[in-house]
Every structure is written in C-alpha cells, then in structure tokens.
Amino acid sequence: MNLTFNSQGFQMDGRDAFLVSGEFHYFRVPQADWKRRMELFKEAGGNVIATYVPWLIHEPEEGTILFGDVPNRDLRAFLETAREVGLGVVLRPGPYQYSELINDGLPEWLVRDYPEVLAKNPAGEAFRYSSVSYLHPTFLEKARPYFKAFADVVRDFMGDPVVMLQVDNEATGIHIWFGSFDYNPETMGFGKPQGRYPAYLRHQYGSIAALNAAYGTDYADFCDLPVPDPDGMNRKNPAHARILRDYQNFYYATIGEYLTLLRSWLREDGLEAPICHNAASPDAAAYFVKTAEKMGDGFLLGTDHYYTLNQTWKQNNPTPQHAVRCFVSMETLRLMGMPPAVLEMPGGSPSDTPPILPEDLLAWYRTHVAFGMKGVNYYIYTGGPNFPGTGSTADIYDYNALVRADGSLNATYTAAHDIGNFMASHPWLQRAERKTAVQVGYDWEGLYADEYAPRGGTNEPAHKFLHKGVVHTLLCSRYAPELALLSGELDTAKPLIVPTDRYMAKATQQKLVDFVKAGGKLMLLGPIPAMDEAFMPCTILRDYMGVTASTNPPASDKPVTFENGQKVYQMRVVERLESLPADSELMAADGQTGKPVGIRKEETGTLLWFGLQWDMCLFVQAQTMERLLASLGAKPTVAASNRNLFTSLLAAPDGRQVLFIMNLYSGAQSTEISLFDGDTEKTLGSFDLAPMEVRIVEL
C-alpha cells in the first residue's frame, strides 16, 4: 500500500481515500489475537494501524536493545501480520511515547542515571522527573542507538506495511504542561559563542547594536545576554515583550531542529517514508508553523482532539464550544497545506469515569468529517496487559477502548464501525470542500506575538474572541466561515473578517489596506492596531481609516446601537473613537456616550470596523453579523432555524454534496433547514435530532 497526501487529501495507491487508522499496541495485545483484531479493524473501515515503539520497553537496560525475545517485543512479527491482513502501519519510535507508560515511555535508566538531560526552568532547576531537554547532547547520544536498532528491524517493511513514521510525540507538551519552556543551559548555550540562543539572536538581529536598540540594553556581545527569565520582566514593557517573544520563537525553533534531526537519523538508517507529528491539543498546531516549513514536503502535522480524559476536563461530552476549537485546529492545518488529520481521536479513555459513550463518540467523529477532517487515528483502537512495572495508569491497559484488552468488542466499536464505513464509501469527500461564505483572517504573527502571555504562544484575548466570538457566531449564522491566512494571498471573492489586536504585522496592515483598495470587503473586529509585530508604533491601518483619537473605555452594561437603530446587548466595547473620521459613515455607537464604535469606509472595496468583542450568546449577535455580511455581498450557505445546531455542507468538484446537522447537546432538538442558490433560499425540510445526534443528509 502506498500512502500519499497533499493539500487535497490522502491517497492510497493513488486513489482518494480517508486515512482511517487505529492505535494498536503490539507490546500489549496478545500475539495470538493480533490477526483477529486487525481484521475487526478492517471491518470497521480501517486501512492503517499505528503503534508506538517504546524505548522503555525495548531497551530495559542501557545497551540491551530487545526486539524479538518475547512475543510482545516482536515488532517484526507484528509487521508481518499487518502485511498479511493488508493494513498499513504507522510507527512511532519516539523517543517520547507517553502512551500511559512510566517516565512518558523513556527508559528508567535514562532518567535515573543521566539527570543532566532534564529540562530546566529559568533558574536552572529541573521541573519534572521525565521531562528532558530535547537537544541535550547526552539525551541525543543515548537515543541514537535505539533509533538505529529500530531501523534495522523495520527497514524491510518500509512501504509494505509501514506507510508512515512519526518522530517524537506531542512535542513541547512535556515542558509547557509543567509550566515552563526549557532553559537547559547546556542545550540552549546561554553565554557561549556557538550556543543556540546567542546564535539565534545573532541571526535574527544581525548585530548586537540592533538587539540593544530593541531590548533597550547595551550588551557588548550576544554572549552577554542572561537567561531571559519571565518572572523578572514586566510584560507591558515593549522591550521585555520583545525579549520574551524572541525566547518563545527561539524555543519553537529548537523544536523544528529536534524533529528534523530525528528525521535525519531515520534517513541515515535507510528508512524512507512520509514523516508525521501530532500537536498535543486543538490550540497547539500553530506552534509548529516554523517546524512544518523546515520539514517541507512529505511531512504531515496532525493534532489531538480529545473531549475528555478525566473528570477535571471542561466537558464530559462533545460540545459546540469544543467543536469550535477543533474546527479552528483543522482549519489551521489546512492553512499549513496539510490534509486535516486528527492523529489522536478518542477511541477510549484512561478513566472509567466520566465514561466514553457511543453516542458521544459517533457525534464527535461525524463533527470532524463535517468540518473537513481527511484522516483519523483512534487513540486507542485496542490494548492489553502492560509489561510488569511499565504502566502509569493500569496493569491491564484496557483504556475502555473500541476493542477491550480481553478482545471483546466495546459498545463504542459500533461508532467507529459506523463512521469508518461512511468514510470508506465516500472517498470522494477527500476532494470535497466545505461550502463557505466568509473568510476569517488568521495571523501566525498574531498568534505568536503576545505581550500579555508570552509563554503560551497565543494572544489570549484575540485568540479567545476568534473562537468564542467570531467563529462561534458565524457557525450560528447562515454564513459558514473558513479561515484565511493573512500572510498569504488574499482573495477578494468573499468578505474577510479579521479579529484584531493592538499590534499587527506591518506587512499585514498594508496588505489589508491594499485588499480594500483592490475591491475587497473587509470587516475589522476589535482594537485598531497601533503597533507592528516588533511592538513598534505602526499606524498604517489607523492612518488609512483616518482615526486620530480613541480610548479603551471601561466596561459598561449599556447596549451598542447599530446604524439601523438596533440595540445589541452583551458586546464589549474595546475601542471607542472620539469622533467620526472624514469619509466614514457611522455604523455603531457606544451606549454609554453615543460615540463611534463602528464605521464604514467605501473605496473600491469596503472597510467595516467595529471596536467590539463578544462571546456568542444571543441570536441577535448572529443576526447582526448576517445583516452586515449581506451588506458586504456575502452569499449564504445553509440556514438553520434553530441556531444552536451547527451545519456544514461539503461539496465535491463533481457536484456531489453532503450536509451535516450537529446537535452537540444532551437534549433533543429540532430545526428547519434551508439551502441557497445564490441568494435564493430553498427549503430542505424539518429535522428532529436526538440528544448528541449529528445527522448526515446526502443531497
């Protein structure tokens, strides 16, 4: 089987096909049951299985690498079985696995005998027993022989059945989850002429004078810079914000260096196959933008989309809010040129409670297909007993998976069977696209730059508003959204909504002005940028709009009055103008003062600006967006009379269409649905949905 992929989707042996993978742990499942469980997975529409190849399991003592001594270490036999059954295999040799193994799947001897490899906080202290510094020379030296031994085992299986290799797992997680980037001095090379951090800054700034100008410092050399400890800095100080943001970008650059190094080992050892990696959460894909650029073609970035793993999660079941996060996550992958793939899709949970229920799973799977998912890996499809002393959640690793540890079918297997066979019978959906009415501008710069929360990698207020305000509102409207990359080519065929922050890259500001001059319809929502990506004054947009004086007013409970006289409640005014700019029309006034909080400027195209943010809660918010988008010439897609039910219409180039209607709530709900031919509304009918039902309507 030949697995290929491009921005259009996946292909198996050259034909369109969903990637339908299931996590199948040969080191846990009894060998005698491998074949039967593989066949069961094929019956559920599967075409690939995936497995970690845990360093912990295969190198129990340093230098003793075992790949065939006992059946559950016999990777060769596993690959032979998969070949016989006709399933592709994705292998994930780490070094990190997690996989509910102790030490995240690292050997006990490594973390016990080589504490110098541990990641450090800015004070130079290790912050966790099994979080290592990825590029530490000792860590790499110890991992290299394991990768080589792995390659010797799997080389003969490349292409058949091994169709893809994953490097590491959820990179950054072992640091960020525990509260810190990595500041291991040996890895980062603080103060050393060839050290990574000084070298990175030298490359970014060119001269120490340029860095001093940005940082407000007077270092003689890049080696003089101290460890940039966030605790000692004031994030509202632009110079400090630059220092912190540089470290953040540097840290993410080291992730790219690490993953490309792991790939080079695989290539050195003769393993040719596409390489993949999985971002740890729906918000994390953007951390890998530079990594994906560095990896280039043949690299698949996917994300992990759990809705619960234990009772401390925010929800026990799929919800519209979580669906919005996952929608944005998959759109982010699409903007990177990837076929959106969820490389860890819940197939169970390490917790007995809250339970993973078949209704929830099927709704979650269908929601993902609705929003454009092209490939999936169930985590996990099936498990079994752990090697003694290696489990971190159980001795028998059952995971409440689709096929239980004892080989019996879980009630949830039917959900995977249902969606798997739907995907198998609809390969044409690989070339389908969501029918959309409006673009939502997405800015890698904006996601990285953040003067408030420099460690997290996102600008919290703008990022939240993108999700909870803009995208959620559009999904409750008749104008389906797609994300659009502001650093790419902008298409004037559809209106463009840009959730803004107080800074925006200079080039982006100019591009948005040019977009309007070229006839584009632009809606800016939020503060009008006053700084560029380096936190330097930059007023290209403000100047174009003719804005001279404005304020960030305090909170108020008064409604905003729109140009048609309608008052809309529960919108936060985040910027208010002192007066209406010349050549502008008033579109919205602050309820407290009557001053402008929305304007319209016509040139060749149109610019609408509203200094507002909101969390979608009132239908009048969605209706207001519909009215404004109609005034920008947007063409509606699907209208649901019950706005609580999201819809998504997938259309292939040959005209085939499928509509999804999503009730991601615990009660039954009904709706009327209309489709559109241009502006002409055509009633499709009434739909009564059960609790947590996602209905598929073939048109």
Contact residues for a copy of itself, defined by CB under 8 A: 102-103, 128-130, 310-312, 314-317, 319-321, 350-355, 357-360, 391-395, 468, 472, 476, 554-558, 567, 569-570, 615-619, 643-644, 665-669, 690-692
Q: SS3 of 323, please?
A: helix
When the beta carbons of 87 and 571 are compared against a copy of itself, the nearer one is: 571
Tokens of 654: 């040959």
Question: What is the closest distance, in whole angstroms, from the C-beta atom of residue 177 to a copy of itself in the complex?
Answer: 12
Question: What is the closest distance, in whole angstroms, from the C-beta atom of residue 412 to a copy of itself in the complex?
Answer: 10
Please, are residues 18 and 424 in contact by the beta-carbon 8 Å criterion?
yes
Question: What is the closest distance, in whole angstroms, from the C-beta atom of residue 668 to a copy of itself in the complex?
Answer: 7
Residues pairing with 276 in the sheet: 166, 300
Dist. CA 20–CA 293, nearest whole Å: 26
Q: What DSSP assignment string belongs to 371-404? A: TT--EEEEEEEE-EEPPTT-BSS-SEE-TT-SB-
What is the end-to-end Cα distance of the chain in Å, rounded?
A: 32
When the beta carbons of 261 and 394 are compared against a copy of itself, the nearer one is: 394
When the beta carbons of 260 and 392 are compared against a copy of itself, the nearer one is: 392
Q: What DSSP assignment string belongs to 74-98? A: -HHHHHHHHHHHT-EEEEE--S---
Question: What is the closest distance, in whole angstroms, from the C-beta atom of residue 319 to a copy of itself in the complex?
Answer: 6
DSSP summary character for residue 471: I
When the beta carbons of 299 and 646 are compared against a copy of itself, the nearer one is: 646
- The one-letter amino acid code at 352 reads D
Please, are residues 650 and 638 in contact by the beta-carbon 8 Å criterion?
no
When the beta carbons of 5 and 660 are compared against a copy of itself, the nearer one is: 660
Handedness of CA 16, 22, 26, 29 (dihedral sign): negative
When the beta carbons of 382 and 477 are compared against a copy of itself, the nearer one is: 477
Cis peptide before 161 (omega within 30 of 0): yes
- The one-letter amino acid code at 509 reads Q
Q: At CA 45, angle to CA 74 and CA 38, rounded to 5?
A: 20
When the beta carbons of 141 and 178 are compared against a copy of itself, the nearer one is: 178
Tokens of 184: 């291991």
Handedness of CA 373, 377, 378, 379 (dihedral sign): negative
Q: Count other C-beta atoms under 10 Å from residue 246's C-beta.
A: 22
Question: What is the closest distance, in whole angstroms, from the C-beta atom of residue 367 to a copy of itself in the complex?
Answer: 13
Question: What is the closest distance, in whole angstroms, from the C-beta atom of residue 95 to a copy of itself in the complex?
Answer: 17
Residues 6+ apart with CB under 8 A from 565: none
Question: What is the closest distance, in whole angstroms, from the C-beta atom of residue 424 to a copy of itself in the complex?
Answer: 25
Question: What is the closest distance, in whole angstroms, from the C-beta atom of residue 378 to a copy of itself in the complex?
Answer: 18
When the beta carbons of 164 and 625 are compared against a copy of itself, the nearer one is: 625
When the beta carbons of 94 and 391 are compared against a copy of itself, the nearer one is: 391
When the beta carbons of 126 and 253 are compared against a copy of itself, the nearer one is: 126
When the beta carbons of 219 and 569 are compared against a copy of itself, the nearer one is: 569
Question: What is the closest distance, in whole angstroms, from the C-beta atom of residue 215 to a copy of itself in the complex?
Answer: 27
Q: Which of 237, 243, 229, 259 is nearest to 201 (CA)?
A: 243
When the beta carbons of 102 and 650 are compared against a copy of itself, the nearer one is: 102
Name the residue with tokens 């190849």. Answer: 53
Q: SS3 of 491, please?
A: coil
Q: At CA 167, angle to CA 266 and CA 62, rounded to 5?
A: 75
Backbone angles phi, psi at 664, to 5 degrees: -95, 45
Q: Which of 294, 283, 210 is nearest to 252 (CA)?
A: 294
Sheet of strand 438-442: strand arrangement:
481-485, 438-442, 496-499, 521-525, 606-610, 596-602, 585-589, 560-562, 567-568
When the beta carbons of 349 and 509 are compared against a copy of itself, the nearer one is: 349
Question: What is the closest distance, in whole angstroms, from the C-beta atom of residue 277 to a copy of itself in the complex?
Answer: 24
Question: What is the closest distance, in whole angstroms, from the C-beta atom of residue 17 to a copy of itself in the complex?
Answer: 30
Name the residue with tokens 């050549």. Answer: 583
Name the residue with tokens 């519909």. Answer: 626
Pairing of strands 375-382, 162-166: unpaired
Question: What is the closest distance, in whole angstroms, from the C-beta atom of residue 317 to a copy of itself in the complex?
Answer: 4
Residues 6+ apart with CB under 8 A from 69: none
Question: What is the closest distance, in whole angstroms, from the C-beta atom of residue 346 to a copy of itself in the complex?
Answer: 13
